[in-house]
Amino acid sequence: MFYDEQGRHVRTKKEILDGDGNIRKGCKIVKKGEVYERKIFTIKDGRFKQESFLNEAKVFYTDLINQMVIDDKDKLSIFDKNGPYLATKKVGKNNPKAEAIKANNEIRMEWNRAVDRAIVSGVSETEILELKKTEIMDRVKESVEQNGSKPELLGEIDPRLKEIDSRLKDQNRAIFEREKKRDKLKKELSECTGIFKNGRHHWTRQKDKGAR
């Protein structure tokens, strides 16, 4: 490979020779088998491929954007993948898997609704996270290992919503019974207070009468 003074590749050796047949200053010849091109960029830092770097970038830019937002309700938030909820996937335009993604999202939203009911009814987040891990995440991981990444198979994984709903009903019944007992106790206390007041007034009158 022959290169002139400007580093441009030329076709023949003659093009880089002077009048005496010598190689002009600044020209060069790359012999066969030698490297004639080099990369000006270094190897990409492996850290930029790690998920932790992506999470850091999300937090940084979310905070940066939120600094410009006036109303708190318009501020952005980052989805916590370690929380009890499942993330839904955006359906892109003309996506050939749009229907499968929508069906997958519906299952995820069904789980998220069940989580909302569970939290309101007093089921602990720890318990929900355990169910999420054993009945969803672990089974998804097993499915991916066996079948590859196929989101449509999530529909075949039972997230034990019935069990959660049953537990919710038990929680709601327990709350209802506690509220009934509380209301009954308040009523009884109110009645007792009234009786006590009447008795106290009677005792006072008797005491006053005796004093006279």
Task: Pick the range with the lowest mean pLDDT from 49-63, 126-140, 152-166, 179-193.
Answer: 152-166
Distance CA 46, CA 61 (A): 21
User: Could you tell me if 32 and 59 are in contact, meaning their C-beta atoms sit under 8 angstroms apart?
Assistant: no
Round the average pLDDT of the chain to a whole number and report it: 76
User: Could you tell me if 27 and 4 are in contact, meaning their C-beta atoms sit under 8 angstroms apart?
Assistant: yes
Rounded to an integer, the average pLDDT of 49-60 is 86
Calculated CA dihedral for residues 169, 175, 181, 187, nearest 10 degrees:
-120
Residue 129 CB: number of other CB atoms within 10 A?
Answer: 15
Quick one: pLDDT band at residue 15, thresholds 50, 70, 90?
very high
pLDDT of residue 41: 67
Rounded to an integer, the average pLDDT of 112-136 is 81
pLDDT of residue 24: 93
pLDDT of residue 162: 62
Per-residue pLDDT of 18-44, as tens digits, reads 999 999 999 989 888 887 666 656 777
> Tokens 């229907």 identify what position?
99
Predicted structure pTM score: 0.49
Per-residue pLDDT of 180-211, as tens digits, reads 777 776 666 666 655 444 544 444 444 444 44
Distance CA 16, CA 2 (A): 7
Q: Is the pLDDT of residue 46 over 60?
A: yes
Q: Is the pLDDT of residue 154 over 90?
A: no
Domain ranges of the chain: 1-35, 49-78, 79-183
DSSP tag of 83: S
